[in-house]
Amino acid sequence: MNKVEIIREVIKTRRSIFPSSYNRKKISKEIIQEILESANWAPTHKYTEPWRFRVIRGDARARLGAVLSGWYKENVAEEKFSAIKFNKLKNNPQKASCLIAVCMKRDPKESVPEWEEIASVAMAVQNMYLTCTAHDIGSYWSSTKAILKQNDFLQLEEGERCLGLFFMGYTDIQIPEGKRETTIEEKVVWME
C-alpha cells in the first residue's frame, strides 16, 4: 500500500468507540506518548500550539469518575437528574485504559482569533483519533459539561480551559462500517 492508500484507509475506518466496548487491556505508556506526539503535529497558526493535555491513568480514573459524578449530582436539577448519566460519569473513566483531558491554552497575546486555536486543538484530537485507529485502539472524544468545570481537578494553569475528555481503550468488538448521509458532491461547489 502506498501512503495515500494507507492514510485513506485509516481516515475511513476511524470511529468513535465508547467506553462500554473497551476490554481491560492496558495501553502502554510508549503508545500513549506516540498518540500525544502525533497530536503535537497538528496545524497551528502563528505557532501558538494551543493544545494541552492531562493524561489520566491508574487510580486517577476512579478519582475522576467520583469528581464528574459528584459535580453532576450537585449541579443538575432534581427533575432532570438521570441515574444512568450519573453512573456513566462515575464508571466510564474506569472502563478506559487511559483518558486524556483535552485542553487549550489561549495565546496571551491573542495573536489569532480564539476559534483558530480551538480548531487547532480539534485537529490535534483528530491526529490522536487516527493514531489510535492505526493501533487498533478504540477512542472517543466526550465534551460532557462535568469535565468542562474541573479546572481544580485538572490543575489547569491561567489561560487554560478544558475542551473535553478523550477516552481510549482496546476493544474486542467488530468496528462498524462508516456511513455518510450525503455524498461529497452534494457538499461541494466547484468555482473555476
- Strand partners for 162: 103
The contacts found for 155-162 with CB under 8 angstroms, 24 or more apart, are: 155/54, 156/103, 157/105, 159/105, 159/106, 159/108, 160/52, 160/103, 160/104, 160/105, 160/106, 161/103, 161/104, 161/106, 162/101, 162/102, 162/103
Burial class (CB in 10 A: 0-12, 13-18, 19+), 154: buried
CB 90 within 8 A of CB 168: no
Q: pTM for this structure? A: 0.94
Where residue 128 falls (left for φ over 0; alpha for ψ -120 to 50; beta otherwise) is: alpha
Q: Is 65 inside a domain boundary? A: yes
Position 192 in a domain: no
Write out the residue range of the structural domain in which residue 137 sits: 3-187
Residue-level pLDDT, tens digit, the chain, 192 residues: 899 999 999 999 999 999 999 999 999 999 999 999 999 999 999 999 999 999 999 999 999 999 999 999 999 999 999 999 999 999 999 999 999 999 999 999 999 999 999 999 999 999 999 999 999 999 999 999 999 999 999 999 999 999 999 999 999 999 888 889 999 999 999 999
Residue 141 sits in a domain of what CATH number? 3.40.109.10
Listed residue (37, 48, 166) closest to 115, CA to CA: 48
Number of domains in the chain: 1
The whole-angstrom separation of Cα 145 and Cα 150 is 9
Distance of CA 111 to the CA centre of its chain: 26
